[in-house]
Structure 1
Amino acid sequence: MKDVYLLSGFLGSGKTSLLSHLIAQFKGEGIKPAVIMNELGKLNFDSRAVDDDIPLKEMLEGCICCTGSEKMEAQLQMLLEGEEFDVLIIESTGAAHPVEAMDAVFSPLFAKQLNMKGIITVADCKRWIDRDLMSPQTRMLFLEQIKHAHLIVANKIDLLSDSEVATVTMQIQALNSSAPIIQTSNSKLPLTLIKKLEATYHEKEINETALGKQLFLSSRLFTFQEAVDQEVFENWVRSLPDTVYRMKGYVPLKGHKYPFLFQYAYGMVQWLPEYLMMEPQIVIIGDQIDKLDMIGSGS
């Protein structure tokens, strides 16, 4: 049987960083991983974190639980029949409830082929401190992702003081007393810790947070018509409401030949140079983003 790990966590928490670290460690031990990545939007920016030699399936425009188990089963079937691999890692979108996503793996079709090791939830410690500022719907999802984890990665502790780290860890442990908590920066988790997981699935009370129902997260694709000034762009980013949780894509900057890879999560911005002519567009994820005034658009 092939072990399966499900990576959960809110938007921008560090799931893709964790995925990259786990892939590198598996490969270092001669274990070949396969990956299923789920994106809320239409573009697969995060899949660039997966090496070309890793079998990869992608589910775009929605979360595993929203697009239906049939699509997930089809992806699993293609991997099992068409690819050679030893372990499967599923990265769910930040808008997915982890238990609903895990249920999609429990198909009778794969009962003798897949062994669900557990849900690993990446919890953004800085976001935890300000969780009361989130909308009730998104806060509920944030807490549910932690509540149903088998292992909790308390990430971004480098952004907190020692006393804040201690407080956050204690509060998260109170929410989910059965899952070990590992404190990390940049989601650097030792592989030995996840190998010890053995998921025990209980019928816990699940608060529904389905996309388009109680949860109003959505995605928006914006294409740049011309290069922008970096300072002007960052000022626009700082002006955005707290309901924007995640942005990622390729931003064409004045004075540079190729667009830069741009990432934004919880008020923090990251720029990385690119050396190819990538499509100049970004995906924005959040609440009520259809009402945003886009840079240079006037609407």
Structure 2
Amino acid sequence: MKDVYLLSGFLGSGKTSLLAHIIEQFKAEGIKPAVIMNELGKLAFDSRAVDNEVPLKEMLEGCICCTGSEKMEAQLQMLLEGEDFDVLLIETTGAAHPVEAMDAVLSPLFANKLNMKGIITVADCKRWLDRDNMTPQTRMLFLEQIKHAHLIVANKIDLLTEEETLTVTMQIQALNDVAPIIQTSNSKLPIKLLKNMEATFHDKEVHEAAIGKQLTLSSRLHTFQEGLHQEEFEEWVRSLPDTVYRMKGYVPLKGHKNPFLFQYAYGMVQWLPEYMKMPPQIVIIGEQVDKLEIIGSGRND
């Protein structure tokens, strides 16, 4: 039996950082992990966090819970038959309801092969304080991901005051009084906490929040045709509506040979230099992203 951990959390909460930290710790102990990574868009940007030694299966365009159960079973089957690993880590898209995603894993096909250890939900503490500004649908999903967790990673506490940290912890505990809450910065979680997990499926009402149902999240892939000025691009980012939750990809900047890796989540921007010539594309995730006017372009999607 191979242990399985499901990593949940809203867009930009820090799931991929958590995944990278867990992989590093398992490998240091001689435990070989495998990964299934789910992306809402068409490009697998987050998979760069997984090194080449780790068996990896990717599911693009859609989430495990609402469009990919059969694909998920096929990926699991390929991993079990074709790869040598000890533990499986599944990172869901931020648009996935954790219980629906878990149900996709708990197929009778794998009853004697996989041991579901539980759901680890990464909760963005800064986002928690601003949750009332979210649309009702996205707020519901955000709360559901925390409500159904077996372990809660209260992330980004470095951005909070002590009073705010206490408030967030108490409020999250009131929503889910069963799961342990671990406060982190940059999702740094010791794996000894994972090893002690045993999924307990409580009798909780599950509210659907799948793409195309109550939650109207969608993704858009955009290709840049020319280089941009960084200041102008960031000004455009600041002008975006609150319904744009996440952007990630490679942005060509004037004066630089290769596009820069760019990430955006809830008003926070990150640039990293890229030393290979990557395709100048970004994935935009949010609501009604098809209506956005993108800087320096017509519609080149």
Give the equivalent residue in structure 2 for 1:5: 5
Residue type of the alignment partner of 1:291: K
Partner residue in 2 for 1:189: 189
Q: In the aligned structure 2, how far is the partner of 1:45 from the partner of 1:134?
A: 25
Aligned-partner Cα distance in 1 for 2:155–2:194:
15
C-alpha displacement at 1:287, in angstroms? 1.0
- Aligned residues: percent identity? 83
Tell me the alpha carbon deviations over residues 256-288 of structure 1, each in whole angstroms, 9 at most, x when there is no partner: 000000000111000110111100010000111
**How far apart, in 1, do the equivalents of 2:220 and 2:43 lie?**
10
After superposition, where does 1:236-247 map in structure 2 within 5 Å?
Answer: 236-247=236-247
Describe the SS at the equivalent of 2:250.
strand
Q: In 2, distance between residues paired with 1:298 and 1:106?
A: 45
* CA–CA separation in structure 2 for the residues paired with 1:160 and 1:293: 33
For the residues of structure 1 that align with 2:237 and 2:258, how far apart are their CA atoms? 20
Give the Cα separation in 2 of the matches to 1:231 and 1:225.
18
Aligned match of 1:57: 57
Q: TM-score, with normalisation over the residues of structure 2?
A: 0.98
Q: Report deviation, 1:289.
A: 1.1
Residue by residue over 1:226-271, the C-alpha shift from the partner in whole angstroms, topping out at 9 and shown as x without a partner, is 0000000000001111111000000000110000000001110001
Q: Which amino acid aligns with 1:270?
A: Q
The Cα shift of 1:68 comes to: 3.5
DSSP 3-state at the match of 2:213? coil
Paired residues of 2:225 and 2:297 also in contact (CA < 8 A) = no
AA partner of residue 13 (structure 2) = S
Pairwise CA RMSD of aligned residues?
0.8
Q: In 2, distance between residues paired with 1:63 and 1:10? A: 13
Name the amino acid aligned to 1:89.
Answer: L
Residue 210 of structure 1: how far off its partner (Å):
1.1
Q: What is the identity, as a one-letter code, of the residue corresponding to 1:214?
A: Q
* CA distance in 1 between partners of 2:266 and 2:169 (Å): 19
Distance 2:195 2:186 in 1: 20
- Provide the secondary structure at the position in 1 that maps to 2:65: helix
Deviation at 1:179, TM superposition (A): 0.4
Query: TM (normalized to structure 1)?
Result: 0.99
Q: Which residue of 2 aligns with 1:220?
A: 220
| Residue 22 of structure 2: aligned partner | 22
Distance, in Å, in 2 between the alignment partners of 1:86 and 1:215 is: 35
Which residue identity lines up with residue 164 of structure 2 in the other structure?
Answer: E
Q: How does 1:1-299 map to 2 (within 5 A)?
A: 1-297=1-297
Aligned equivalents of 2:188, 2:150: Cα separation in 1: 17
What are structure 1's unaligned runs of at least 5 residues? none
In the alignment, the residues of structure 2 paired with residue 129 and residue 269 of structure 1 have an alpha-carbon distance, to the nearest angstrom, of 19
Structure 1 residue 91: deviation in Å? 0.1
Which stretch shifts more, 189-198 or 203-212? Answer: 203-212
Tell me the matched-pair count.
299
Q: Work out whether residues 39 and 62 of structure 2, in 8 Å CA contact, stay in contact via their aligned partners in 1.
A: yes
The offset of 1:137, in angstroms, is: 0.4
Q: 1:298 Cα shift? A: 5.6
CA distance in 2, matches of 1:164, 1:233: 32
